[in-house]
Amino acid sequence: MRALTLSFAALAFAASAGLALSALAQSGFDRPGADYASAPVANGDPAVCATRCERDKNCRSWSFSYPSASGEPAMCWLKRDVAPRVPATCCVSGVRGGGVLEPRLGEIEFSTDRAGGDYRSFEAPADPQAKACVAACQSEQRCRAWTYRRPGYGSTVPRCYLKDVVKPPRHRPCCISGVVR
């Protein structure tokens, strides 16, 4: 009997760990289909979409798309079902009750701006992992931190800012940042 109880406890723990991992991996995923409502998100913050879902009794999951370089606004889609997630660099998605949790990928800080301390900036390729920004900062001894501003947040092109001073992080969905040294 004790072995059976331990087996059920281990199974429950594994299931909850799987749910926690899926909640941590919301950035970079879409949940296509099952839409019943959509609306623009003026401030471009995926947390607004998660909150809309929380406040709507019909919502089971949601998807948010960042503003596009061509000028389309950030959008929120509420879903009547928990649609399966699929990889999509444009989006953040989640389920009701999950909130918005950005993944930590090594030194990458999603939805984070480190304003100030810039010594150089350049137009960067559109990349949800900001690889050009990371590589530029790592290759310059002067660079201590960087910020990548996504397209659609004040400009139609992404921009990389290299910094010789590490500034405090601020939650801002426009940006991805990191500290190198």
If pLDDT is split at 50, 70 and 90, which confidence band does 27 have?
confident
Q: Per mean pLDDT, which range of 7-11, 73-77, 142-146, 162-166 is the poorest?
A: 7-11
- Closest Cα partner for 74 from 173, 176, 177? 173
Give residue 128's pLDDT.
81
Is 151 a residue whose pLDDT tops 80?
A: yes
Chain segment 52-111, per-residue pLDDT in tens = 999 999 999 999 999 988 889 999 999 999 988 999 888 999 999 876 656 555 678 888
Residue 121 has pLDDT above 50, yes or no: yes
Q: How confident is the model at residue 12 (pLDDT cuts 50, 70, 90)?
A: very low
Instruction: Tell me what pLDDT residue 105 has.
Output: 55
Range 148-166 average pLDDT? 93
Task: Return all residues near 48 (Cβ < 8 A) that are at least 6 apart.
Answer: 41, 64, 76
pTM of the model as a whole: 0.71
For residue 13, the model assigns a pLDDT of 37
Mean pLDDT of the region 122-134: 91
Q: Kindly state the percentage of the chain with pLDDT values over 90.
A: 60
**What domains lie within the chain, and their CATH numbers?**
25-95 (3.50.4.10), 104-179 (3.50.4.10)
Residue 34 has pLDDT above 60, yes or no: yes
